[in-house]
Structure 1
Amino acid sequence: MFMQMIDGTIVITALPSITAELAVSRQAQLLVVSGYSLAFACTLLTAARIGELVGRRSMFLASVAVFTAASAWCGMSGSAGELVAARVVQGGAAAGMTAQTIAIVAASFPRERHQQVFAIYGAVAGFAGMLGPIAGGALVTADLFGLGWHAVFLINVPLGLITFALALRYLHLGRPAQRERLDLGGALLSTVGLFALLYALTDIQQNGWRTGSFAMIAAAVVCTAVFFVQQSRAARRGRNPLVRFDLFTDRRFAIGSILVAVFFGMFTAFVFAVSITLQDELGFSAWRTGLLMTPFAVGACVGALASPMLVRRFGVRTLTVGITAFGACVAVGAVYLHLIEGAVSVPLVIGPVFLAGLSVGMFCVPLQPIMLSGLDQRRMDAASGMVPTVEQLGNALGLALLSAVFFREHTVAGSVTMFAAIAVVAFGTAVLTFALPEAADNAR
């Protein structure tokens, strides 16, 4: 999780150096970032199903090996095209690792410990996500052994080797009871449909609404409709489909999926707006931006680790308080940005930034175990690919819609509008949490 999360953000601060050395075009710059995220999101469902068929341990080890090799390939790339190709392979391998996580946790720990395990998992994810830009700036600036931007990718090689060795030694899971066949038709339809939708949303976020974007979205809708019919027919015939739609008959999972999608879309838009506001509008360097957001990462880790105790005491209302507090912090930030007109006092904002991170940790970490608490082991396996796919769809959808509607001009006034919109979405999410039943463990 640490490698996957940090790799999604660490490259952003290295892009100027990559552009200068490889003479990367603007389109190629976007592909260096989006190629990874598209490959990651579009292969999660298939990777989860393959893991279910061949064994989670085997799939995880193979994915770690490919991810490590692809990272070395990224670090040794000598052209823009080679780097983009390596990033696509890296993103697909990252999906292979991530898609096994929920199933591995469910199989390795008793249900009563899931809150604690996911708290540690969430703390690592939050810390890695915020560390990425800081680490990227530090590695490029330090220019270790004259590697420059190459170190941003090569750092994954020792991490990958350590991960592989630890998983080989300590990850012991049973083999699948019976060998089944992969639903190739479903895998193709889901991959094409997700790619069309996510590519269109990425284009909307970068260039606004265009005819091509509408055409890609229409293609995605058609593929999704065909996929739904094909998967439903497979389930009726007693086959094992790529996606089990009966997951959504569980109210916790259904409402939790909506909350996951809305939250990750809102949060991705928030991180994007913070980066644009601080660097493009207020003149902060990438390094200084990362340092300013460090209290957020610390707060998220504290909130994540404290969340099991809070959920045991207050149940799902922990989520309500967490997302409401986050919305309040963002709203206060919007008002503050409007009043100071660009002259930010760093000491003054450290407290609210920490509180915003704390609130995020309180909300997003307990959400996953609560939404999964009513599933049996079989459906938990199916959810292993579904949950991260919903997260990725939320990321793309929220960023595209919020930035296209509220953040057309990268000015301080535009930032104020964007933060206000994010606060409204956060408050709406808080209202939705009242529809979420208590987790099964808490209900007892």
Structure 2
Amino acid sequence: MTPGVSLQPATRYGAGLTARRKSIAYLTLMVALVLEIVDVTIVNTALPVIERDFGAAAAQAQWVAAGYSLAFALLLMLGGRLGDSLGYRRLFVGGVGGFTLASVLCGLSENPAQLIAARVFQGAAGAMMAPQVMALVQVLFEPRERVAKLAWVGVIGGLSAICGPILGGILIHADLFGLGWRSVFLINGPVGLFAMAIGWRLLPDASSPNARGIDFGGTVLFAGAMAALLIPLVRGADFGWRPWHFALLAAAPLLLALVWRRTRTRSDSGAATLFAPELFAEPQFALGLAIALGFGAATGGFLFVFAFGAQKLLGYSPLQTGLLHIPFSAGVMLGIAFLGRKLVMSRGKWVLVLGTGFMALFACGSLAWIAVGGSWFWVLPCLALAGTGMGMTSGPLTPVILARVDTRHAGAASGLIKTVQELGMALGIAMVGTAFFAGAPHGEGGAIWPAVAMIEALLAVCLVLAVLLPESLFPDSE
């Protein structure tokens, strides 16, 4: 993403647009933002129904969820660079168009392979669309106006992520036009067409005069490394962990080492790079990014297993499962809005430590409820407190990671954070989902305790990394 981009004078701050047209343009950007973020989590509620309708294998259900996040993460930084070079409006409208087409293809899929392919396409299109939202907010508004607009971007983005499972449950229960789970995807069609039409008409045609180019080779190597890691994690149990699975796992760190070496070499020569390697010279940035990866994996795995387990093991309907997410969502908003970001300035890293601890304790309690079948009086407080822990950690985490980053690299660093968070989601669904399915006796829907162990291990690593953060997180507080 490129929030620090320089703009040509003729296109600065929505030149030629009335206040009303700028507001409509901003609303259009928010609609696209909601589409992209909701589709990360909305599918969790639908997966058991999709699995039943298609007779899909567990690994295929995982790929329906993880394929989107993986494609999005791998292409996100490329989408930001293409926007710099080709124009933000062009990439935004093209990305929304691709996302809309992919959504329709998801809804029309006749087998798991088609659905997985459409989800990967959807994630790739989302990666072209999403970076342009932040860039176009800068194009449309002056710096003082931008503060409030960007604050709403955070609020809307957070609400979208946590409301996805709830919306999915409502849509499947409503069974609009007899479409069942397909409505979860097909509803994006008219919304996307609206965003395309308004976006092309109202959004300014701006690009960056300082575009650095694109490292296609680095992008391909990075994609290969992630594929080598995820394919064995998702498919290994189904095939009995054959030698080629271990070969792929061994190849993943080697490919990542090649990515790092290539990036350092190209950076030294002034060529375009996949990311800015100098960012990792700051320990707080590197530690924070590692926390974002692990915490994204833990929360992504938790949401996947909770939605799947409530339906497959307890027999809850998609609507009931969606409604169960309400206390979790309320807790997330409490943690973000009233606890995490306010307390981090005075309590520093201990807010992240406490939030991670809350998430570890009460996510375990929420999943234990599925294992033993307790009452709602048990699970609802657990979900609310798990959500509070998630909000206390995820809310201040991005400001903590960026606290010591040079402003020249703010755009590149923000894009890298989003990439790592999405990769964490994909890895979490692969790792925790595999533990859930592989730990169950043959013919059963899943096993909670192996999944809990994987989630707790991820959160334990995050907690240790949070403790290793410096006592003073923000330079002006030193």
Question: Could you tell me which amino acid in structure 2 is paired with residue 314 of structure 1?
Answer: R
Alignment-derived partner of residue 381 in structure 1: 411
Say if 2:161 is the partner of 1:141: no
Say if 2:307 is the partner of 1:275: yes
Identity of aligned residues (%): 35
SS of alignment partner, residue 374 of structure 1? coil
Indicate which of 89, 103, 112 corresponds to 2:121. 89
Alignment-derived partner of residue 342 in structure 1: 372
What's the CA shift for 1:260? 0.4
Whole-angstrom distance in 2 between the partners of 1:164 and 1:266 = 35
What's the CA shift for 1:398? 4.2
Indicate which of 434, 440, 443 corresponds to 2:474. 440
Alignment-derived partner of residue 14 in structure 2: none
The 5 Å alignment of 1:398-413 reads 398-402=428-432, 408-410=438-440
Unaligned runs of 5+ in 1: none
What's the CA shift for 1:369? 1.9
Alignment-derived partner of residue 218 in structure 1: 250
SS of alignment partner, residue 372 of structure 2? coil
Indicate which of 319, 335, 338 corresponds to 2:352. 319
TM-score for the superposition, normalised by structure 2: 0.78
The 5 Å alignment of 1:34-433 reads 34-77=66-109, 82-100=114-132, 120-121=152-153, 123-164=155-196, 175-204=207-236, 209-306=241-338, 307-333=340-366, 337=369, 342-402=372-432, 408-410=438-440, 415-416=448-449, 418-419=451-452, 422-423=455-456, 425-433=458-466
Whole-angstrom distance in 1 between the partners of 2:303 and 2:105 = 28
Question: Could you tell me which amino acid in structure 2 is paired with residue 358 of structure 1?
Answer: T
Whole-angstrom distance in 1 between the partners of 2:395 and 2:205 = 25
**Count of residues in correspondence between the two structures:** 440
Instruction: String of CA shifts for 1:68-115, please: whole Å, max 9, x gaps.
Output: 23223333445655444433321101122334566667887869997x
Question: Could you tell me which amino acid in structure 2 is paired with residue 373 of structure 1?
Answer: A
Whole-angstrom distance in 2 between the partners of 1:118 and 1:326 = 27
What's the CA shift for 1:346? 0.3
Distance 1:52 1:35, change over 3 A: same
Instruction: String of CA shifts for 1:212-264, please: whole Å, max 9, x gaps.
Output: 32122233333323322222221121212122111111222111101101111
Tell me which moved more, 226-235 or 19-28. Answer: 19-28
Distance 1:133 1:59, change over 3 A: same
Question: Could you tell me which amino acid in structure 2 is paired with residue 321 of structure 1?
Answer: L
Tell me which moved more, 422-431 or 16-25. Answer: 16-25
Whole-angstrom distance in 2 between the partners of 1:117 and 1:170 = 17
SS of alignment partner, residue 273 of structure 2? coil
Whole-angstrom distance in 1 between the partners of 2:289 and 2:197 = 34
Whole-angstrom distance in 2 between the partners of 1:101 and 1:258 = 25
Whole-angstrom distance in 1 between the partners of 2:453 and 2:363 = 7
What's the CA shift for 1:16? 5.8
Instruction: String of CA shifts for 1:159-185, please: whole Å, max 9, x gaps.
Output: 324544665677669631245442222
Does the Cα contact within 8 Å between 2:168 and 2:322 map onto a contact in 1? no
Distance 1:209 1:170, change over 3 A: farther
Question: Could you tell me which amino acid in structure 2 is paired with residue 409 of structure 1?
Answer: G
Whole-angstrom distance in 2 between the partners of 1:31 and 1:342 = 28
Whole-angstrom distance in 2 between the partners of 1:143 and 1:235 = 53
Whole-angstrom distance in 2 between the partners of 1:337 and 1:165 = 47
Whole-angstrom distance in 2 between the partners of 1:6 and 1:75 = 16
Does the Cα contact within 8 Å between 2:44 and 2:307 map onto a contact in 1? no
What's the CA shift for 1:329? 2.1
Distance 1:398 1:155, change over 3 A: closer
What's the CA shift for 1:291? 1.8
Question: Could you tell me which amino acid in structure 2 is paired with residue 218 of structure 1?
Answer: A
What's the CA shift for 1:357? 0.6
Whole-angstrom distance in 2 between the partners of 1:309 and 1:166 = 37
